[in-house]
Amino acid sequence: MSSTLVIYNPAAGRGRVQVHWPRVESALRQAGVSFDAVATRAPLDAMAIAERAAGNYTAVIGVGGDGTLHEIVNGLLRASGEAETTAVGMVPLGNGDDFAKVILQRRRWAASPSTGALLWIKLRAGRRSPLMWGAS
């Protein structure tokens, strides 16, 4: 088992994740990130997957939009009893991507899934935002 889990939502961004997932996966692997990947199949699936993953992985990366991130964070917090939990990264490919736009002050993430993957790689290399909960 890898130390990183990627939860991707193929329906996010009106199907944008489904189209770009191979590029994101390739960018992460080329950067040397070893990971397990799971696709969501229904609403709240990311939350259930993240809750089960807590304690089994040191990091969880979401690939999708704000809803995917919301579900992942809630699943991890639920598993930890709202205590410190697993590091979270995001490759924002949703419709609005408000988290990426407002918090990370980036624009047009959806146009570049490999840029989103590189954001995660930089954060894991120690160049992280104070909002990276539990990042190592």
Cα-to-chain-centroid distance, residue 50: 10
Element (H, E) at 10: none
Residues in CB range of 61: below 8 A, 6 or more apart? 4, 5, 6, 7, 28, 35, 88, 89, 90, 91, 120
Does 66 participate in catalysis according to the annotation?
A: yes
Do the Cβ atoms of 64 and 16 come closer than 8 Å?
Answer: no
**Catalytic pick among 36, 45, 66, 97:** 66
Q: Please list the active-site residues.
A: 66
